[in-house]
Amino acid sequence: MSEKTYPIKKVSIICAKGTIEDVYAALVMGNGAVMEGIECNLFFTFFGLEAIMKKRMDKLHTGVIGNPAMRLPGGARMPSLLGIIPGMEAMVSSMMKKGVDKLDVPPVSEFIELFVAGGGNLYACKLAADMFKVKKEDLSEHVKGIITVGEFYEKAGGEGSHIIFT
Amino acid sequence: MTQKTYAGVTVDVNEEGYFTNPSQWTKEIAAAIAKEEGLELNDKHYKILEYLRTRFNSGEQLSIRGINKSGIVDVKEFYQLFPGAPLKKSTKIAGIPKPTSCV
């Protein structure tokens, strides 16, 4: 007797934050989906828009204040106060980028290209774009459209489909 | 250990059908596995399979990014040549273990 399986056929992933780790989480999940033959929509909203803006996508940072999991290179917890030192955020961000590069994880722009080449779809949120005055021409040419939440749900539907908010 | 017969040759595979002994692989076997996956192999497919095996044999981690930089095929074409789950499918046909990378 074989158990019935319910494979995932489509995932729609929402990325609302623009830090290195939030954007990579969404991209790894999205690219991983297309590599498995799962249809994928990536929807960027609020600060997540940075990840699909031509001039900003490869210049993302990691926040160093208010992150209790942040560690110093030796493994000790990083005191929150250190985060206010000028240049600390840039230094940590550069270390993060080197870290992902070592694992052969591409920069955001290249990652987006791999995702799209695999058949993945990229969308920007209309509300956030209006609020931050982001225009179509500011976005990567791979972005299929600036869409409303209603349109997002229409695209997200179907049998075996899931929505993930990262 | 499971065994399967492709093109008249018995080979060792794991429960997912990936080769546990990549040296048992031949081009004829590849064609037979591909057929099982619904694919007819052409020259480009074989070039990719060879690339994957060379990389595997030199101990490298296989990734979709590596494929894109291989100079043999770009990612878009790779997805077209091995539709569905390209890296999983191509490594299976290439007679090497399933890649463990997340990218």
pLDDT tens sequence across A116-146: 999 999 999 999 999 999 999 999 999 999 9
Query: Which runs of consecutive H residues, i.e. helices, occur in chain A?
Result: 20-35, 88-102, 108-117, 126-131, 149-156
SS3 of residue A61 by DSSP: strand
Q: What is the reported pLDDT for B103?
A: 86
- Tell me what ipTM this predicted complex has: 0.92
More confident residue, A41 or A2: A41
Backbone angle region of A160, left / alpha / beta, with phi > 0 → left and psi within -120 to 50 → alpha: left
> Phi, psi (5° rounding) for residue A139?
-95, 160
* Average pLDDT of the residues in A20-41: 97
Q: DSSP letter string over B20-76?
A: S-GGG--HHHHHHHHHHTT----HHHHHHHHHHHHHHHTTPPP-HHHHHTSSS--HH
Q: What is the reported pLDDT for B102?
A: 86
Name the residue ranges covered by the structural domains of chain B: 2-93
Helix (H) or strand (E) holding B88: helix B86-93
Summarised one tens digit per residue, pLDDT across range A85-105 is: 999 999 999 999 999 999 889
For residue A117, list chain B residues with Cβ-Cβ distance below 8 A: 68, 74-76, 79
Helix (H) or strand (E) holding B101: none
Q: Which amino acid is at B25?
A: W
Does the pLDDT value for residue A2 go beyond 80?
no
Q: Which long-range contacts (CB under 8 A, 24 or more apart) does A56-61 make?
A: A57/A108, A57/A109, A57/A112, A57/A140, A58/A107, A58/A108, A58/A109, A60/A18, A60/A19, A60/A20, A60/A23, A60/A93, A60/A108, A61/A19, A61/A20, A61/A89, A61/A90, A61/A92, A61/A93
Does the pLDDT value for residue B1 go beyond 80?
no
* Interface mutation vs chain A, best among B61, B75, B100, most A CBs within 10 Å: B75
Q: What is the reported pLDDT for A78?
A: 93
CA distance B88 to chain A (A): 8
Q: What is the reported pLDDT for A3?
A: 85
Does the pLDDT value for residue B26 go beyond 70?
yes
- Confidence bin at A1 (pLDDT 50/70/90): low
- Confidence bin at A153 (pLDDT 50/70/90): very high
Q: DSSP letter string over A65-87?
A: SS-TT-B-TTSPBPPGGGGGSTT
> Which range, of A16-20, A43-47, A80-84, averages the lowest pLDDT?
A80-84
| A114 vs B64, B84, B85: nearest CB | B64
CB contact (8 A) between residue A106 and residue B65: yes
| B79 vs A104, A110, A119: nearest CB | A119
What domains are there in chain A, each with its CATH number? Answer: 10-165 (3.40.1260.10)
Q: What is the reported pLDDT for A117?
A: 97
Beta pairing partners, A164:
A13
For residue B88, list chain A residues with Cβ-Cβ distance below 8 A: 35-36
pTM of the model: 0.94
Does the pLDDT value for residue B79 go beyond 80?
yes
Q: Check if the beta carbon of residue A53 is closer than 8 Å to that of residue A45.
A: no
Distance (Å, whole) CA A30 – CA A162 = 12
The residue behind tokens 């204040």 is: A65
